Amino acid sequence: MKEYDHKKIEKKWQIFWEKNGTYHAQNKSKKPKYYSLIEFPYPSGDGLHVGHPRPYIGMDVISRKRRLEGCNVLYPIGWDAFGLPTENFAIKTGKDPRVVTKKNTDTFRRQIKSLGVSFDWSREINTTDPKYYKWTQWIFLQFLKKGLAYKAKIAINWCPKDKTGLANEEVVGGCCERCGTPVEKREKEQWMLAITKYAERLDKDLDDVDYLPQIKLSQRNWIGRSEGAEIDFNIVANRAETFSKTAPSETEGHGTHTFSKNSPLGFAKVFTTRPDTIFGATYLVLAPEHELIQKLKKQIKNWSEVEKYVNEIKNKTDIERTAEDKTKTGVELKGIKAINPANEEEISVWIADYVLATYGTGAIMAVPEHDERDRDFATKYSLPIINKPLVDAREITKKVGGKMVTKFKLRDWVFSRQRYWGEPIPVVHCEKCGIVPVPEKDLPIELPKVKNYQPTDSGESPLANISKWVNTKCPKCKGVAKRETDTMPNWAGSSWYYLRYVDPKNKKIFADKKLLKYWTPVDWYNGGNEHTTLHLLYSRFWHKFLYDQGLVPTAEPYKKRTAHGMILGEGGVKMSKSLGNVINPDEIVKTYGADTLRVYEMFIGPFSQSVAWSTESIIGARRFIEKVWRIGFRVQVSKQKNSSGLTLPGVPGGTHTVQNSSVSKLLNKTIKKVSEDIEDTHFNTAISSMMILATEMEKAEIVRREDYKKFLQILSPFAPHVAEELWSTLGEKKSVNVSIWPTWDKKLIEDEEVKIMIQINGKVRAELMINVDENEESIKRRTLSDEVVMKYLEGREAKRIVYVKNRLINVVV
Ligand code: ANZ
Ligand code: ZN
């Protein structure tokens, strides 16, 4: 028997597959297409760690199974290579990010190839390649044309250390996600993408896709659709205070029941999802940024206190302000009151941090009886909490002149960064013509080389320092103009990359229409849980926009979306360089082989959950493969004997069949289990069932060649190299990759349990479910204790019992 030499085998087959283009997707084919997708990696300087390949292997299993099922599979890969780590490295070392990226992708590519993942490498893309980002820029221009890209001065999250604007999600606990510095608010002109225009559809169309329920939920939560009412509350000067000077007795004893007939100073529009609680509204809260506050400056008696509070709030992020465990703060606007339109009662007006300027109308009616946040606040500031009966939401809303509205938590997408390593935004600023898009024929606007990658002190991108690049001609009036120096966020390139794989070398358009029609939508997209909100939402948004322009054939990009858990370091902590617990797959591949690593990563635990790595347990995966290897050589022997016409001495035909049938039966069960488990991403249980099969096959005296072949086929998605090697040793001329996925024999599985008839004196009286292997004794016993049978026997003893195997049992009395 040959030794199992993983190094030799894996190298041999990787070369074979590459030479034969085994995994190339065909743009023309009679086969049904299947597009499987993983989130393309960011090629970091640290190279691959064992967590990276988990999703690649998972989708590889799916893709390989699909090929055997007769599909023309597209399983592509590329690099999401713009981003801060490379840029920060460039800032530190002065190295050109292009050079760094090239080196990093070379490492990643070599490492991924060593794992035998069936990617179609001929379609490799890189978001930092000008030939790629030309189209990212082109899509931006389409947004601009349609008015969905616009500039706005907004308060953005600003990291004073990285000198860059941050998206809300890049702020963790009030600090910059990358460097930990407390984030400030800063007003800046930013490019925005109007994703909110698509909020309704992004929410609704989730009904039509097959995403894991928790993924749909996180999309929906992020979009934050709410149906409610907008209701105006009049603001008046505080009559109670005005009167107290002249007629102090007037207000005494009235409590909150002060009725006002003052003419209003203005009104505050509140947004509420609970108009039915309006009678319980005991105060009104404005966001500290609410425009009414400045307008009412004269009427507000405690202006300096108010102003101080407003300034304090400025540097707080929305996330901090609405954190559930945070104690709420606020200041009453003295000198003014609001009128509850439902009952004309005067209620106090406050500003408080828990009301956000960016949501709803930036003002609320507070109902402490029904709303927890309001109750906390009311308790803290001793505001009335009253229990009033609920009313009909629609009717009330109508009565008080409000209207039903739909609001979304989703905000427009801040699309500019003041950084170097990103796609330049393709517009110029002309004094005469304003913002002018770069003509499409001039794309791509390439990133120029710079000496220094540091953002400027004013927080502009380093591009601003390259006057040769910045100063340009206006495409419209040919006068002097300046290029935009902001670049795109690194979510840009990943918002449409799956479209480029379809036609990665096209120079005329981002992807050929016919090819898009053939390949899209993506049939199955698997990715990390951390991307189930933003990346997924952003790319769905781009896709819908392109769909509206008639540029892609479907309204949704991904039919199905699943997510995998992370691989943690030994002991269950996150793998990180700083903890020194990062496992490099190169070592594992060298010592145990890629197949062992693959099997181990799929066996390690449920695919959707995070699991801890254990180098010790990898041995189990290796032993399994060795077992399969040994069985292979026994199949060989029996095959040779058979073909040379020798009978097998000492093994009579009878025993022969019995043993084969029990293995065949288990094989059938295993084929079914593996086939179904793969579809549910239950890779771990698929492997454990194959482990059981291998153990049984090893014990069996004879392993039929046909059975073993089927085993290799279902193993091949997990351990493709060894499966291919053993397949060819059986004398197969073609790759296992072009064979046909085995089916299972239903009879062999389902007939395990059969229904037999119970007869009494030859007449059918009842039925009994039995196991096909159940012995006669047990069947007789169960028959006699059957309720119906006992009733017929009426205490008499059976004279005779005749059992016809798996058919009937006759009790003669
Ligand atoms: C009265 C009320 C009574 C409310 C009650 C809720 C429960 P969602 O579901 O998240 O849309 N709200 C409105 N605008 C707000 C803002 N800018 N900042 C903070 N809170 C705001 O929540 C809508 C509810 O959140 C609204 O309905 C409002 O409080 C509050 F028993 O009005 B509600
Ligand atoms: Zn001009």
Q: Give, using CA atoms, the residue closest to atom 12 of ligand 1.
A: 364
Whose Cα sits closest to atom 11 in ligand 1?
226
CB 419 within 8 A of CB 84: yes
| Ligand 1 atom closest to Cα of residue 360 | 14
Nearest-CA residue for atom 7 of ligand 1? 371
Determine the distance separating the centroid of ligand 2 and the alpha carbon of 431, expressed in angstroms.
6
CA 170–ligand 1 middle distance (angstroms): 25
Measured in angstroms, how far is the CA atom of residue 628 from the centroid of ligand 1? 62
d(CA 657, CA 1): 26
Task: Give Cα separations from 615 to 74, 479, 592 (angstroms).
Answer: 33, 66, 11
Q: How many CA atoms lie within 13 A of 433 on its CB side?
A: 18
Q: Could you identify the atom of ligand 1 that is nearest to the CA of residue 226?
A: 11
Of 220, 320, 371, 376, which is best to mutate to test ligand 1, by the most ligand atoms within 8 angstroms of its C-beta? 371
The alpha carbon of 536 and the centre of ligand 1 are apart by a number of angstroms equal to: 27
Q: Which residue's alpha carbon is nearest to atom 25 within ligand 1?
A: 272
Task: Please name which ligand lies nearest the alpha carbon of 430.
Answer: 2
The residues, ordered by sequence, that sit 6+ positions from 790 with a Cβ below 8 Å of its Cβ are: 784
Q: Give 380 Cα–ligand 2 centroid separation in angstroms.
A: 58
Task: Give me the phi and psi of 332, to 5 degrees please.
Answer: -80, 140
Any idea of the CA torsion for 363, 368, 373, 375, to the nearest 10 degrees?
140
The position carrying tokens 């920060």 is: 88
Closest-CA residue, ligand 1 atom 9, reads: 226
Distance of CA 12 to the CA centre of its chain: 36
| Ligand nearest, relative to CA of residue 481 | 2
C-beta separation of 749 from 668 below 8 A: yes
Q: How far apart are CA 97 and CA 702, in angstroms?
A: 60
Cα 806 to its chain centre, rounded Å, is 50
Distance of CA 766 to the CA centre of its chain: 54
pLDDT, averaged per 10 consecutive residues of the chain (813 residues), comes to 92 97 96 97 92 97 97 98 89 92 97 98 98 98 98 86 73 84 87 97 97 96 95 87 41 42 85 96 96 94 96 81 84 96 95 93 96 95 94 90 94 90 97 97 95 82 93 96 94 97 98 98 95 94 98 98 94 84 94 98 95 93 97 68 37 40 88 96 97 94 92 98 96 95 83 85 91 84 88 87 91 91
Instruction: Tell me the helices (H) and strands (E) count for the chain, helix number first.
Output: 27, 30
Q: Report the sign of the C-alpha dihedral through residues 601, 606, 608, 614, in that order.
A: negative
- C-alpha 432 to ligand 2 mean position (Å): 5
Best of 225, 364, 410 to mutate for ligand 1, by most ligand atoms within 8 A of CB?
364
Rounded CA-CA distance 279/67 in Å is 64
Task: Kindly report the protein residue whose alpha carbon is nearest to atom 28 of ligand 1.
Answer: 272
Q: Ligand 2 centroid to 436 CA: how many Å?
A: 7
- The CA 282 to ligand 1 mean position distance, Å, reads 14
| DSSP codes, 403-447 | EEEEEES---EE--BS-SSSPBP-EEEETTTEEEEPPGGG---PP
Q: Tell me the ligand closest to 479's alpha carbon.
A: 2
CA distance 413 to 393: 33
Place of tokens 């380093």: 462
**Ligand 1 atom 33: the closest Cα is on which residue?**
272
What is the rounded distance in angstroms from the CA atom of residue 531 to the CA atom of residue 374? 33
Handedness of CA 758, 763, 765, 767 (dihedral sign): positive
Question: Is 248 exposed, middle or buried (CB count within 10 Å of its CB: 0-12, 13-18, 19+)?
Answer: exposed
Pocket test of ligand 1: the residue of 271, 317, 322 to mutate, having most ligand atoms within 8 Å of its CB, is 271
Q: Which residue's C-alpha comes closest to atom 32 of ligand 1?
A: 272
Ligand having the closest approach to the CA of 390: 1
Nearest bound ligand to the CA of residue 268: 1
- Give the per-residue pLDDT at 344: 93
Q: What are the φ and ψ backbone dihedral angles of 601, each rounded to 5 degrees?
A: -65, -30
Beta-carbon contacts of residue 779 (< 8 Å; ≥ 6 apart): 756, 768, 770, 803, 809
The whole-angstrom separation of Cα 205 and Cα 113 is: 37
Cβ atoms within 10 Å of 67's Cβ, excluding its own: 24
Rounded distance from Cα 737 to ligand 2 centre (Å): 59
Return the SS3 of 218: helix
d(CA 182, CA 318) in angstroms, rounded, equals: 14
Name residues contacting ligand 1 (CB within 6 A).
226, 271-274, 277, 287, 354-356, 359-360, 362, 364-365, 367, 370-371, 407
Say if CB 563 and CB 604 are below 8 A apart. no
Q: What is the C-alpha radius of gyration for the chain, rounded to an integer number of angstroms?
A: 35
Cβ-count burial 511-538 (b if 16+ within 10 Å, e if not):
beeebbebbbbbbbbbbbbebbbbbbbb
Half-sphere exposure of residue 745, counting CA atoms within 13 Å on the CB side?
A: 12
Identity of residue 544: K
Angle of the 53-68 helix axis to the 653-679 helix axis, nearest 10: 120
736 in Cβ contact with 723 (< 8 Å): yes
Q: Which residues contact residue 245 at a Cβ distance below 8 angstroms, ignoring those fewer than 6 apart? A: none
CB 171 within 8 A of CB 458: no
* CA nearest to 370, candidates 349, 386, 382, 392: 386
Distance 138 CA to ligand 2 centre (A): 20
For a mutational test of ligand 1's pocket, the pick from 227, 230, 274, i.e. the residue with the most ligand atoms closer than 8 A to its C-beta, is 274
Distance 360 CA to ligand 1 centre (A): 8
Q: Whose CA is nearest to atom 20 of ligand 1?
A: 355
Q: Which of 436, 610, 445 is nearest to 528 (CA)?
A: 610
CA–CA distance, 783 with 777 (Å, rounded to integer): 10
DSSP assignment string, 466-481:
-HHHHEEE-TTT-SEE
Closest by Cα among 537, 554, 544 to 217: 537
Q: Give kind and range of the element (H or E) at residue 670.
A: helix 653-679
| Residue of minimum CA distance from atom 27 in ligand 1 | 272
Check if the beta carbon of residue 413 is closer than 8 Å to that of residue 105.
Answer: no
Pocket perturbation via mutation, ligand 1, pick of 272, 278, 375, 396 by most ligand atoms within 8 A of CB? 272
Closest residue to atom 10 of ligand 1, CA basis = 226
Q: Is the dihedral of CA 450, 454, 456, 462 positive or negative?
A: positive
Q: What is the distance in A from the centroid of ligand 1 to the CA of 364?
A: 7
Q: How far apart are CA 198 and CA 206, in angstroms?
A: 13
Nearest protein Cα to ligand 1, atom 26: 272
Task: Name the nearest CA neighbour of 748 among 707, 708, 776.
Answer: 707
* 3-class secondary-structure state, position 400: coil
Ligand 1 pocket: which of 223, 270, 273 to mutate (most atoms <8 Å of CB)?
273
Say how many Å lie between the CA of residue 315 and the centre of ligand 2. Answer: 38
Q: Give the C-alpha distances (Å, rounded to integers) separating 208 from 190, 205, 542, 557.
A: 34, 5, 18, 11
Count of other CB atoms within 10 angstroms of residue 540 = 23
Q: What SS3 class is residue 122? A: helix
Q: Residue 402 class from Cβ within 10 Å (0-12 exposed, 13-18 middle, 19+ buried)?
A: buried
Measured in Å, residue 433 CA sits from the centre of ligand 2 at 4
Ligand nearest 229 Cα, by number? 1
CB 757 within 8 A of CB 767: yes
In ligand 1, the atom with minimum distance to the C-alpha of 370 is 31
Burial of 763 (0-12, 13-18, 19+ CB in 10 A): exposed
The minimum-distance atom of ligand 1 relative to the CA of 354 is 19
Considering only CA atoms, which of 150, 155, 221 is closest in space to residue 188?
155
User: How many angstroms separate the alpha carbon of residue 140 from the centre of ligand 2?
Assistant: 20
| Distance between Cα 78 and ligand 2 center (Å) | 38
For the CA of 233, the nearest ligand: 1
Locate the ligand 1 atom nearest the alpha carbon of residue 280 and give its number.
3
**pTM for this one?**
0.84
Q: How far is the CA of 156 from the centre of ligand 1 (A)?
A: 24
Bridge partners of 231, per DSSP, are 270
Asked if residues 679 and 526 have their Cβ atoms less than 8 Å apart, the reply is no
Report how far ligand 2's centroid is from the alpha carbon of 435 (Å).
8
Buried b (16+ CB within 10 A) or exposed e, 767-781: ebebeeebeeeebee
Measuring from atom 8 of ligand 1, which residue has the nearest CA? 226
Pairwise CA distance, residues 465 & 485, whole Å: 9
